[in-house]
Amino acid sequence: MAIITAIQSVLALMTRTLPLFGLPLTLAAGIAPAAAGQMAAATSLGSMLYFLWGPAFVAGISAQRQLQGGAILTALAVLLCLSGSWGLILLGALLIGVGYGPSAPAGSDLLMRIVPARRRGLAFSIKQAGVPVGGLAAGLILPVVAMSFGLSAALWLAAAIALSASMLLGFWSGALARVEGPLRQAALPRLTELMSAPLRLFRMILGDPRLRLITYAGLGLGIAQGVLFAYFPVVLTDHVGYSLAAAGLAFALLQGLGIVGRVFLGWLSDRIARERAVLAFLCVASGGTMLLIATLGPGSAPARIASLSALAGITVVSWNGVFLSLLAASAPEGQVGEVTAAGTFVLFSAFVVSPLVAQLFFAGGDGYAAGLVFAGLAPLVSAALLAFHRP
């Protein structure tokens, strides 16, 4: 559990690095700050590409090697952003997403082998708590380094963290090998298999009523979370008027409460065993939180911003472990990795589209309110679908 959660944290730190520096990166590239969401969209697109075709290519590779390779790729990708070219920055964001891809299917497959059914909600939420742990570390450390030594130093530090994690993961190879057991031999996929992969993933999700129910919630929750992660630091620096360090502290508070929220919600879902009720509640809470964040402006009091950051950490950030646990529990025997990749692919489609749609709202309105309202309405629609759904 510690090994899987630690590498999840490091890979999450890499995905949070570029959105955290959305304002200086866009200014360095000579484009408007509202375009910062394109980096988050590119990262999510990279993960989607992995979910589509990655499992077919790495079927014969151990989960440890998959996670190590992902960490190395994210380290190399973040260094592309040193160029100041917006095209290379987006390419780096895309490759960071590809490197993050193994964290869900590889980590979930390992957990399903060691965790009893009655504890899976908590276990998956602990693993997914590694995501806000990485975001917390990014928000506390990287802006301070950037303000003290420059943006380049912060990006080099992020790359060094990922490379160090990849090397340390090698020391735990024995423990991971005992969990995984012998690897099955796998040949490279044929072209027809690669072309049919997207259809197979959609059939896997849409053909099962319970998986459809989970996906209803995941789409709405993903839209809210995608916009929050892509734009929250930019809203604070460009709209509210915070410094990079102050915005980093607010982002760290949001991520820190996300750690507590993910573990608590995992425990709660195990206790009440009513996943539809938990997901519907999270949809309502996430939507309401995003609507409150839409009211922030240059005159907003620091206490109010801190309170909304904490609330968003508990609501908008904390549901992913419950989502993955329900996907894994609904998977047919031996298909946990495939179902988790399929469901996460649908979720990440929301992460790709939502920042781009929000950018259209930002460009067409005065400030950031309209895009944040859009992000708040999406999970409320999902809550309505869950309320009227009859399993």
What's the pLDDT tens digit per position in 284-304? 999 999 999 999 999 889 999
Q: Which residues of 122-152 are buried (b: 16+ CB within 10 A; e: fewer)?
A: bbbbbbbbbbbbbbbbbbbbbbebbeeeebe
pLDDT in tens, 149-203: 999 999 999 999 999 998 887 776 555 555 555 555 555 556 666 666 667 767 7
Min mean pLDDT across 121-130, 131-140, 190-199, 256-265 is at 190-199
pLDDT, greater one: 330 or 6: 6
Q: What is the DSSP code (8-state) at residue 59?
A: T
Which range has highest mean pLDDT (47-61, 305-319, 342-356)? Answer: 305-319
Nearest to 57 by CA among 15, 65, 163: 65
pLDDT in tens, 99-123: 998 887 777 777 777 777 777 767 7
Cα–Cα distance list, 94 to 39, 271, 276, 333, 388 (Å): 8, 38, 33, 32, 37
Nearest to 235 by CA among 159, 305, 178: 305
pLDDT-based confidence at 87, cuts 50/70/90?
very high
d(CA 161, CA 11): 10
| 299: number of Cβ within 10 Å | 8
- Token digits of residue 181: 């057991």
pLDDT-based confidence at 354, cuts 50/70/90?
very high
Max CA distance (Å), the chain: 61
d(CA 265, CA 255): 15
